[in-house]
Amino acid sequence: MEQVIQAIEALLGPQGCLIDQDARRPYESGARYGNGSAACIARPANVEEAAELLRLCARDKIRIVAQGANTGLVGAASPDRSGRDVVLSMERIKGIVEIDPVDRVVQAYAGTRLSDLNQALAPHGLCFPIDLGADPSLGGMLAANTGGARLIRYGDVRHNVLGLEALLMNPPGQRLDLTNRLRKNNTGPDWKQWFIGTGGAYGIVTQAVLQVHPLPQQCATALVVPASPEAGLLLLRDAERHFSDFLTAFEGISHNAMQSVLRHLPGMQAPFEPLPPYAFLIELSSARPRSADFDLEKLFGAWLEACFGDLILDAVIDKPEVLWRLRHAISESVRHEGKVIAFDIAVPRSRLAAFREEAVALVGRGYPGVGVFDFGHWGDGGLHFNLVVPQALMEVCSEERIAVLRQEIYDLAVRKYRGSFSAEHGVGPFNQSFYDRYTAPEQQALAAGMQAAFDPERLLGATRFMSAQ
Amino acid sequence: MEQVIQAIEALLGPQGCLIDQDARRPYESGARYGNGSAACIARPANVEEAAELLRLCARDKIRIVAQGANTGLVGAASPDRSGRDVVLSMERIKGIVEIDPVDRVVQAYAGTRLSDLNQALAPHGLCFPIDLGADPSLGGMLAANTGGARLIRYGDVRHNVLGLEALLMNPPGQRLDLTNRLRKNNTGPDWKQWFIGTGGAYGIVTQAVLQVHPLPQQCATALVVPASPEAGLLLLRDAERHFSDFLTAFEGISHNAMQSVLRHLPGMQAPFEPLPPYAFLIELSSARPRSADFDLEKLFGAWLEACFGDLILDAVIDKPEVLWRLRHAISESVRHEGKVIAFDIAVPRSRLAAFREEAVALVGRGYPGVGVFDFGHWGDGGLHFNLVVPQALMEVCSEERIAVLRQEIYDLAVRKYRGSFSAEHGVGPFNQSFYDRYTAPEQQALAAGMQAAFDPERLLGATRFMSAQ
């Protein structure tokens, strides 16, 4: 091991190889899960160095865990505890290669942050509209196939990747250049898909070409109180009927989530008094500026008025910044309430209300005192069904009990509602056991074939898609 | 072979197994390319029978070529000339499983025709907006990943598939159930991608779950004459700036293509006198009905007026049916002009005008008398760069010369312009040699790994993605 670390340092220089424990630490723990110890943190300055690193590690069968901005939520970018993993940080391989406004594309290196991407795009009137709480790297966004709050309009990352470049492990360091800018290209398997949403298990993304979108020039935003829990889905359907060209978000926020933000976010005013059981944040936007003959706020206002009584009990029309501030502050606020048991679930959106009702009842029945602080992307069936164990209950809520609860909720979502145990966070060591539980044997068999083709020595990534045997 | 055919007949019944030469014939030739002879045409009535057929053929190492509505344009659904292929027609495995208007999804069997799908969706105010000249089956659309004229708004088939079911060859007849309805599901590799755009090489799609879209309630359509060839791209960019929420088509039509339609389509009036060198069919649409405060035709008219002089020389605003009739009649009309050499090319859309100019010059220089009758999807960089060898030149334009011409055009598109030799038709025996020519060795090596995992005996499909060796 000592020799490998020396070789990496010789290859990448002291800047490119962090060995000291203090220097390593920020890279060894994930944003939510994942906590290990790496042999070293390799920080290559360019793709050639990264390719050489792969060759070097392959020779000694050292596992490589790629890491972007380390904002992932399933531990997929964290080393294990063996002290033998090399973390490959992509943070120095960054920057915009080109923006082409006629193509409406941007090509950039994997280490580029989402915020930097959008800053570079803005002067061209363009944006990459993946809306997230964090500021991930481009490579990490591809590895996790991030979704976010505006998927209903723009799709997830996968829908917007036109091309990419990846480094393969078979043979080690092989560069695979798929950086085309084509919107139509039916020339065989769509190889780029193998590297999206797979957490670096089949190769390491070094560059991506993204389709980007015109910056919205006007929007209309409201927080509305549905007439009943079921009214949420009717409201969604009606909103799509009237505004399918413009609907950019349809987010659900529970009473507890709202209350938590009001308690912990300084200066936030209560949108309703008293707080309703549930509310929906609805956003319309258009790349066409507001004008007398095209005014989204006006159209939206008329629709809200028409829905009053039947579907909507109350509504707050406010500056989008204020309403989104409330929405984006939930995750952080809820952390102050006690121990958070986070879920990133999706079900078919038509069944979201039914799933939520059944899951809330399950918790109430089996785990009295545990609070439900959920919010979710109702437009696409995503639900962050977050539970909070209050301080007073910590003693009686053991790790084992929480594990049972977790599985009960996932079983309900996946087995009864044909949903997903990971809507947008991906698969990593944190939820590897649930992947094993819910993935059909025939899929795991295919994954074994993929593993043999792409990484026969199993040297890439912290996630395994084939069964453990 | 005789025994295998008997076994198939025993399994599927006389209705399900066509042996007679006359009965086989419609299935043995493709719509444009592909012309072979099959051992028999197997027409299973359901997925179970199809699975059993796969097992039966695998035992005797008989190759299976899946076929939908047989509208493909690269021969990928045609048997070879050995008389040993079994054509698996999916035409009897059809019908809608479910339409869910809240989910905005339809689940249907692979043999369902696009027109039937849309007919079933219409009462729900929904549609599957892949716009094509042909009426393919759902399975064929997935196998080819069809694009069409409205990709700029809705994406290709791949973008709209939420789930599918496929039959695998490893082990033979294994059913792979990926029929979920989730818009967010990041639980590992997106397995469904393996079966989209791969011509049945890795499995046979039996069902699909599609995201569908609200039926447009109003549209605005115009045929416009750009001020210059380069003005086309400026016009596209400007149209996206003003109407990115509504732009559903931006199609280019050459002088020759227009003239051909006028010559051969009865009752079609000339949109312009004289016909311009090039014209663009621009369509906006919205799912929101026309109203005083939202009228696309009014907004569109104002924009066209503002573009006059600088970008646009002339424009015809007409009923969409009339303009689309002109557009959709091109392929058929051009066939009357002589021998058509068809190209289905894409380049980055910012380079489409430059590519076209260079390709036209190449033809004029090396192949005088050969006419260029192109049209294309400028919104997504697709160009049907169709050439016509007039009757009088047939003698001097040998097959060998045409083959050289074909390769010159493809080399220009793929190598110089980083484009695609198959934008939307896929890969089949017709263009297999170009796949081999333009696909990097490292991709073909990955394909060999995929082949080993999915179909080690190479029994599925008429297309090979690994190198011939």
Q: Could you list the pLDDT tens digit for every one of the 469 residues in chain A?
A: 899 999 999 999 999 999 999 999 999 998 888 789 999 999 999 999 999 999 999 999 999 999 999 999 999 999 999 999 999 999 999 999 999 999 999 999 999 999 999 999 999 999 999 988 899 999 999 999 999 899 999 999 999 999 999 999 999 999 999 999 999 999 999 999 999 999 999 999 999 999 999 999 999 999 999 998 779 999 999 999 999 999 999 999 999 999 999 999 999 999 999 999 999 999 999 999 999 999 999 999 999 999 999 999 999 997 889 999 999 999 999 999 999 999 999 999 999 999 999 999 999 999 999 999 999 999 999 999 999 999 888 888 899 999 999 999 999 999 999 999 999 999 999 999 999 999 999 999 999 999 999 999 999 999 999 876 5
Angle CA(A86)–CA(A90)–CA(A92) in degrees, nearest 5?
120
Residue of chain B with shortest Cα separation from A99: B350
DSSP state of A66: E
Supply the ipTM of this predicted assembly: 0.96
Closest-approach residue (CA) in chain B for A103: B350
Count of residues in chain B: 469
Using the 3D structure, point to which of A46, A66, A89 is the last residue of a domain.
A89
- How is B308-366 classified by DSSP, letter by letter? BTTTEEEEEE--HHHHHHHHHTHHHHHGGGSEEE---EE--GGGHHHHHHHHHHHHHHH
Residue to substitute from A162, A165, A183, A234, interface B, most B β-carbons within 10 A:
A183
The CATH number given to whatever domain includes residue B258 is 3.30.70.2190
User: Which residues of chain A lie closer than 8 angstroms to B298, CB-CB?
Assistant: 293
- Do residue A225 and residue A180 come from a single domain? no
**Residues in chain A within 8 Å Cβ distance of B233:** 102
B223 and B210 within one domain: no
**A448 contacts in chain B (CB < 8 Å):** 453
Q: How far apart are CA A230 and CA B311, in angstroms?
A: 51
Preferred mutation among A99, A106, A184 to probe B, highest tally of B CBs within 10 A: A184
Q: Which helix (H) or strand (E) holds A384?
A: strand A382-384
pLDDT, position A468: 63
Residue B347 CA, distance from chain mean position: 16
Buried b (16+ CB within 10 A) or exposed e, B114-131: bebbbebbeeeebbbbbb
Looking at the structure, tell me whether residues B177 and B122 fall in a common domain. yes
Q: Tell me if B293 and A298 make a contact (CB, 8 A cut-off).
A: yes
pLDDT at A1: 87
Is A462 part of a structural domain of the chain?
Answer: no
Nearest-neighbour CA in chain A from B395: distance (Å): 33
Query: Is B165 part of the contact surface with chain A (CB cutoff 8 Å)?
Result: no
CB contact under 8 A, B346 and A452: no
Closest residue in chain A to residue B149, using alpha carbons only:
A184
Classify residue B391: in a domain, yes or no. Answer: yes
**DSSP run (H or E) holding A256:** helix A255-264
For residues B72 and B166, membership in a common domain is answered with no
| CA separation for the pair B257, B331 (Å, rounded) | 9
Amino acid at A203: G
Chain A hits for B156, Cβ within 8 Å: 184
Query: Which chain A residue is nearest to residue B231, measuring alpha carbons?
Result: A102
User: Could you tell me the CATH number of the domain that includes residue A31?
Assistant: 3.30.43.10
| Final residue of a structural domain among B89, B109, B126 | B89
Q: Is residue B182 included in any domain, yes or no?
A: yes
| Contact: A286, B181; criterion CB under 8 Å | no
CB pairs under 8 A between A and B: 276
CATH number at A124 reads 3.30.465.10
Secondary structure of residue A330 in the 3-state scheme: helix
C-beta atoms of B188 and A439 within 8 A:
yes
Cα distances from B313 to residues B223, B258, B276, B301, B379, in angstroms, run: 11, 17, 10, 14, 20
Domain contains A374: yes
Are residues B347 and B266 both part of a single domain? Answer: no
Is the same domain home to B321 and B408?
no
Domain containing A158 equals 96-214
* Alpha carbon distance B307, B239 (integer Å): 10
B380 at A interface, C-beta within 8 A: yes
Distance (Å, whole) CA B207 – CA B184: 20
Residue A56 lies in a domain: yes
Cα-based distances in Å from A223 to A101, A156, A442, B310: 34, 24, 44, 44
Distance between CA atoms of A304 and A302, rounded to whole angstroms? 6
Q: Collect all residues of chain B within an 8 Å Cβ-Cβ radius of residue A103.
A: 348-350
| Within a domain: A466 | no
* B350 contacts A427? CB cut-off 8 A: no
Residue A467 within a domain: no
Measured between beta carbons, the chain B residues lying within 8 angstroms of A237 are 101-102
Which residues on adjacent β-strands are paired with residue B167? B175, B204
The answer to whether B58 and B37 are in contact (CB under 8 A) is: no
Distance CA A70, CA A77 (A): 7
Percent of chain B with pLDDT over 90: 93
pLDDT score recorded for residue A46: 98
**Same domain flag for A103 and A205:** yes
- Residue A32: per-residue pLDDT: 84
Residue pLDDT tens, chain B, 469 long: 899 999 999 999 999 999 999 999 999 998 888 789 999 999 999 999 999 999 999 999 999 999 999 999 999 999 999 999 999 999 999 999 999 999 999 999 999 999 999 999 999 999 999 988 899 999 999 999 999 899 999 999 999 999 999 999 999 999 999 999 999 999 999 999 999 999 999 999 999 999 999 999 999 999 999 998 779 999 999 999 999 999 999 999 999 999 999 999 999 999 999 999 999 999 999 999 999 999 999 999 999 999 999 999 999 997 889 999 999 999 999 999 999 999 999 999 999 999 999 999 999 999 999 999 999 999 999 999 999 999 888 888 899 999 999 999 999 999 999 999 999 999 999 999 999 999 999 999 999 999 999 999 999 999 999 876 5
Q: What is the CA radius of gyration of chain A?
A: 23
Residues A203 and A242 in one domain: no
Q: What does the CA dihedral A123, A126, A130, A132 come to, rounded to 10 degrees?
A: 20
Cα separations (Å) of A343 from A118, A382, A396, A436, A462? 29, 10, 21, 17, 20
A129 and A156 together in one domain: yes
Determine whether the interchain pair B424/A158 forms a contact, defined as Cβ–Cβ distance below 8 Å: no
Q: If contacts are CB pairs under 8 Å, which of residues 200-219 in chain B contact chain A?
A: 202, 213-214
Residues A191, A84: one domain? Answer: no
Q: Is residue B358 part of a domain?
A: yes
Give yes or no: residues A236 and A146 share one domain: no
**A214, A229, A244 — which closes off a domain?**
A214
CATH number at residue A415: 3.30.70.2740
Q: Which residues of B touch A447 (CB under 8 A)?
A: 188-189
Is some CB atom of chain B closer than 8 A to the CB atom of A350?
yes
Q: Provide the number of structural domains found in chain B.
A: 4
* Same domain as A44, residue A128: no
Three-state DSSP string of B26-90? HHHECCCCCECCEEEEECCCCHHHHHHHHHHHHHCCCCEEEECCCCCCCCCCCCCCCCCEEEEEC
